[in-house]
Amino acid sequence: MSRDLVGKRAVLTGASGGIGRAVATALVKAGARVALASRNADKLNELASALRGTGGEVLAVPTDVTNPDDRQRLVETAVSAFGGLDLLVNNAGVGSWGHFADSTEAICRTVMEVNFFAPIELTRLALSHLTLGNQPAVVNVTSMCGRKGMPAWPEYSASKFALVGISEAWRAEFARFGVDTLTIVPGMTNSGFEKNWLRNDGKADLRFDKGMTPEYLAAKIIDAIQQNRTETVCGSEARRLLRFNRYFPRLTNWLLARKVKKLYSK
């Protein structure tokens, strides 16, 4: 199936910066009508104004995705303004860069609330509207950490694994409603994501500046939606790691463990 985005009614979370901002721009360029959600009202309104200047039909809906009332208001506002819903893009996320042994329960719960519970509960609210939509789909932006858990990313990996897992369950469940479930699995992206981590004391040389641009990833996401690809791995680093892990899982684990031991040997 090929999905035409012209006129599609979409909700996009995490829209005010980085990957979300690029996806919002790409959706509007493709002809979609978009309800933009983010906690940062100023950035959200600035983006909405800029997109309207290009002829886009957008709404700015300041939203804390972990707040049930905000989630309800987001869905109701979008449905009321657009007359329905065709596309939900769960993009909002938070990271924590540090090892489990000296992390906290609070960090774990925050990561899980933002990266897992928020998107699934938003999907629960949106589903009844999506079932009435035109070529409807739920799009979950996950991570290569959702296919291979990585050291110093324990909570983040767990949250993204959970989102990948529920996406696979939804894929079969939602088929009876005619709603597709698409999973995006990006590698390292130069999106500014690291500026908002809950902690930043892991040991490794993370070269985000060498990662994909948000615009490149957004183009891949739009293409995946249009082509209705079940799962899309984005970025050469992610493709290499996941392919290597698929065929050599024990060696992959040994290499990762050796790297961590070396980093902490001093």
Which residues are catalytic, by number? Answer: 156
Residues 6 or more apart from 154 whose CB is under 8 A from it? 99, 100, 103
| Strand-pair category, 137-141 with 33-38 | unpaired
Question: Quick one: which of 41, 34, 53 has its CA closest to 17?
Answer: 41
- Other CB atoms within a 10 A radius of the CB of residue 118 amount to 25
* Total residue count of the chain as it appears in this document: 266
Residue 183, φ and ψ in degrees, nearest 5: -115, 130
Beta strands in 69-197 (DSSP E): 87-90, 137-141, 180-186
CA distance 174 to 139: 13
